[in-house]
Structure 1
Amino acid sequence: MLAADKLLLTSTIRKNATELKGKELALHKGNFDAVGTQAAVLAGFAVVMVVEFHMPEEAHFALQGIYYVFAVITLVANLRCVAMTTCITVMGTGLALRGPDGSMVRAVEGMYKQRAIVFRSFGAGIVSCCLSVAVIAWIKMDAIPAAICTGAIAWTLFSIAKYTNFYMEFFKFNEDEVVSLDDILGADLVNKEAIVKQLGVGSDTLVRLLGSLTQTRREHTPDTDV
């Protein structure tokens, strides 16, 4: 009886811990989906910038070259971001749901660690897109309007960098204080002492409580004849 109660308790705790970890997995997946969607939109703009834009014949060759360089950087950076977010979400969720014991923790931690490189690629696409627009202003406009547009784009880039840094500092937290479920979801956890330590109650009390709940459930479950 005690062995069965212990196994049931362990399974219940690990099931609840897995559900909590699944919320974190869904959070990361939603974040990557949002970034990937925006990167796909910017990649579409970049294709139009490369293919559909008709370069004036009188445009300076240096400006033409700079424009196409930034346009291609916009395209490849955003396509790279789309590819990474797609692979991370597909493979990460697949590992979490179909992998061996402990795969949920591995998938969530792996997705968390990949955020920085994805955000850097997305940021590079935004910056290069703004610079492409600034070059277009000097190609299509006179000096004064082009200078005004360039100033507006420079202010936009400065504002993006400023508020990105502000938000990073504002939402920053200490990694050592993060709630971790690794000790519960670890493959080596099936001993009563570790469970009791996590719950902070006495071993005998816990087993008696679980036994009474199990007995009550059995008493209220009607027997059926086959």
Structure 2
Amino acid sequence: MRNKLSLFTLFILMGFNLLAQDSKYIEVTGSAEMFVEADEFVFVIGISEYWIEEFEKKKEFKDYKNKVAIGEIESQLLKDLKTIGIKKEQIKSTEVGNYWRHQGKEFLVSKKLEISLTDFSVINKIVSTVDRKGIKNMYIGELKNKELPNFRKDVKKQALLAAKEKAEYLVETLGNELGSIISIEEINNDNAYFRPAAARSNVMMSAGESAEADTEKKIKLRYEIRTRFEIK
């Protein structure tokens, strides 16, 4: 009886294997992307200690003796930002540390200030207002949008539809018909990114650069969906 049961089970397994081998399918990848306008962004200003003699004519490195402290640079920057209407609660200090040191000289301390903004035109005011001494760099650090989860869903749907469309025309080219969906797989999850843009005034940019900067102000969403369909 046990041998008969084992033999029966073996036949069932063989039947499933034959069905699996006979099934035909097509596997394709669909992609979609979208640029989303940011409704909030973080503007980063990097500051660093410097030597007063750096800005004096005919001064060599050996003459650098008077260092401007990071606290003094930050204090002046906060005053400049206040004059253009940026509030204290919009500003957050991050990444305080030693920057670099020349042989025989003290370390120069660096620091970053992150400013939460909703209006990109404020960048022009910052660039044209702040004292450049002690400013190491300025750039857009992060872009945000409150509706980003909904936009992600839309892009994923478009990627899935693109995969189906691709599978349909490939199968129909060979005279077959697309069947039911077998599997859906997200290749890259939570893929939202942008290119951090250096701070530039619109007044100083050419028409081409201005168009490029507009793209840099948008969040790029891109998703890929791998699908497998039956072939009838």
TM-score, normalisation: structure 1:
0.22
Higher relative contact order (CA 8 A, sep 6+): 2
TM-score, normalisation: structure 2:
0.21
When you count helix as a share of all residues, which structure comes out higher? 1
When you count strand as a share of all residues, which structure comes out higher? 2
